[in-house]
A and B are shown apart, each in its own frame.
Chain A
């Protein structure tokens, strides 16, 4: 009796090992590293980007993987902290044979990782908003030392601001107030609005700052309103998006409110509630997929993706899901065409031309490691808990 159970145990263990071994599933999986802000202040963005990448990987694997090999993501959390991001990168590079990195979420973490990515020579497709990760030279005294291995999927923040100003120009909004959170993202917005607004004949007559954790912006909005503005831009993500929308309604400010390109997310409705009605913002097309004209080349692809997303997570995707998905799909396409080789993947990504993605049409080149343009951005309006595509 005792001998029998021992034999059984041995068989069980053997079977378990075989299940885990590549023998049962054919070739070994191809691994990519996913580094996201899953906790910390950017957790809501990081998790939705992770979900976006997971969908993309599921899709590839459902179709039989890449040349018969499954795709697998090794995931790490940056905790929204630059030091931890570097540690996460080294952990992934050390423990697994990854061919590319997707992420991270925050610009600060991306900046910290950038130097090490260049040193390790591994292609990285980042989701960070800040243009600085591509523009800032690696060595301070050498302006040509731009990153070779780093790419980013979200469109440039300057283009998003340009889109708003273009819309204002079209709708006869000439004098605006600019309200921004006093940290990296908000200040970047301030720099951009000063460049973009004059291009479209828009004048910034008032600028006000607030701390990211402030709970009331009526004072700033009152000062802006006193200047007789006919439009307000608020540049921030997180709870402040909602607070500003509420304050604008409470003060009875008639001038339309515009928010940043990160606002088009279900989170916006959570923080703004009914006051969110009528707020306008630049966004990727993913949140208004069904309203796109049939002539739009992205429409079918986005609709199919959104369907898969809804099925897996049972909620609507936000605007930032598009960035995660695009980064994943472009990397996957590169692996498909050149095989799991880091240097070749990098070259393939750099040669991506006319790729129809969720966020737009990517034309990546050695000079432009992002590849999107202002044409890819749409203006949307918050309506009845959802989004309406503006002309």
Chain B
């Protein structure tokens, strides 16, 4: 016990924990205060979409940034969450919250079935598996008309509610969605600071080394994949109850690419980078609408520049820049000390 405590303190410097606490406190304060300054429904819906994307991106970042595996099928998990929630509540009269849990567990189970064989293999087989899976699910959404409503979509999904409080407008949904964002990020942070997190980091560093140290890499990778699918599913359920209408075109291949891009822009393996990536890309794509129909080109140029000049992601790059400067200063001081 004594030993363990010591180990924890070595592996997790006190300052870092403080920093995390401060960051989460700031996030909580910002979430609470934003609606005081933002009244426009449009700005709120943009923030809500950012929140929904953040949940997916945090989950995906666990997979990409820590297990070193890429999924191109997260639109499918997001969609499964939406459709399970939607179908269960609309067609079968399920209560909302249990439907959401069923959606999450089922999506996790499906992810396990895909991840188990694909992640046993070394290399990027998961990309291929999820790519195909994403497209198949998207087709099924359109084809299974009696359940999904086909391409016409599923209408009349009820908004979420707790007791007499119904989350039926943008402001209430804002608090709901961002509470989920907060706890999802907190969960991810705690996971990363645990034994599992350290194992994941080890896998990301070197799979062979991790294996040789007794980390069951395949099992960890499957678990983190399942977890990230469940994050996406929760976000999808929230989306369905917020917009109250879902159709297959929301969950196409493009969405999978979009969330992967958010992970990369924010910074792989950076928790706050996930929030940053989701926010920046969602905001940029909205802001560029001033360029009329050229906004697609502007968006592409922006992304290319980002990947050329900040390939590690914005937040991680900034972090490295400051670390380098600190290091240089230290070196210079040391040099000065030596000569002087």
Question: Is A bound to B?
Answer: yes
Q: Which of A39, A139, A182 contacts B156 (CB 8 A)?
A: A139
Task: Name B139-157 residues within 8 Å CB distance of A.
Answer: 142, 150-153, 155-156
Distance in Å: Cβ of A219 to nearest Cβ of chain B: 19
Distance in Å: Cβ of A117 to nearest Cβ of chain B: 12
Given contacts A39-B296, A140-B90, contact A130 B250 (CB under 8 A): no
Q: A277 CA to B49 CA in the complex, in Å?
A: 47
In the complex, the answer to whether A94 meets B42 with C-beta atoms within 8 Å is yes
In the complex, the answer to whether B156 meets A111 with C-beta atoms within 8 Å is no
Number of chain B residues whose Cβ lies closer than 8 Å to a Cβ of chain A = 30
Q: A287 CA to B43 CA in the complex, in Å?
A: 42
The binding surface of chain A is classed by DSSP as: helix
In the complex, the answer to whether A39 meets B245 with C-beta atoms within 8 Å is no
Residue of A with least CB distance to B156: A140
**Beta-carbon contacts of A95-131 to B below 8 Å, as 1s and 0s?**
1000000000001100110110000000000000010
User: Can you give 27 A-B contacts (C-beta < 8 A)?
Assistant: A38-B293, A47-B293, A76-B289, A77-B289, A81-B250, A82-B243, A82-B245, A82-B249, A82-B250, A86-B243, A87-B45, A93-B42, A94-B42, A107-B151, A108-B153, A111-B153, A111-B247, A112-B153, A112-B245, A112-B247, A136-B155, A137-B155, A138-B155, A140-B156, A141-B156, A187-B142, A188-B151
In the complex, the answer to whether A111 meets B289 with C-beta atoms within 8 Å is no
Q: Which of A47, A77, A115 contacts B245 (CB 8 A)?
A: A115
In the complex, the answer to whether B244 meets A115 with C-beta atoms within 8 Å is yes
Q: A183 CA to B252 CA in the complex, in Å?
A: 13
- Mark B residues whose CB is within 8 Å of A: 40-43, 45-46, 49, 90-91, 142, 150-153, 155-156, 170, 239, 243-245, 247, 249-250, 286, 289, 292-293, 295-296
In the complex, the answer to whether B156 meets A137 with C-beta atoms within 8 Å is yes
| B247: A residues at CB distance < 8 A | 82, 108, 111-112
In the complex, the answer to whether A90 meets B250 with C-beta atoms within 8 Å is no
Q: Which of B46, B152, B250, B292 contacts A136 (CB 8 A)?
A: B152
In the complex, the answer to whether A111 meets B155 with C-beta atoms within 8 Å is yes
| A365: B residues at CB distance < 8 A | none
Distance in Å: Cβ of A249 to nearest Cβ of chain B: 30
Number of chain A residues whose Cβ lies closer than 8 Å to a Cβ of chain B = 37
Most buried by B among A76, A83, A188: A83
| B150: A residues at CB distance < 8 A | 184, 187
| B40: A residues at CB distance < 8 A | 94-95
A301: interface (CB < 8 Å): no
A336: interface (CB < 8 Å): no
- Mark A residues whose CB is within 8 Å of B: 38-39, 43, 47, 76-77, 80-83, 86-87, 90-91, 93-95, 107-108, 111-112, 114-115, 130, 132, 136-141, 182-185, 187-188
Q: Which of B41, B49, B91 contacts A94 (CB 8 A)?
A: B41
| A184: B residues at CB distance < 8 A | 142, 150-152
Q: A107 CA to B151 CA in the complex, in Å?
A: 9
| A108: B residues at CB distance < 8 A | 151, 153, 247, 249
In the complex, the answer to whether A83 meets B90 with C-beta atoms within 8 Å is no
Q: A130 CA to B149 CA in the complex, in Å?
A: 14
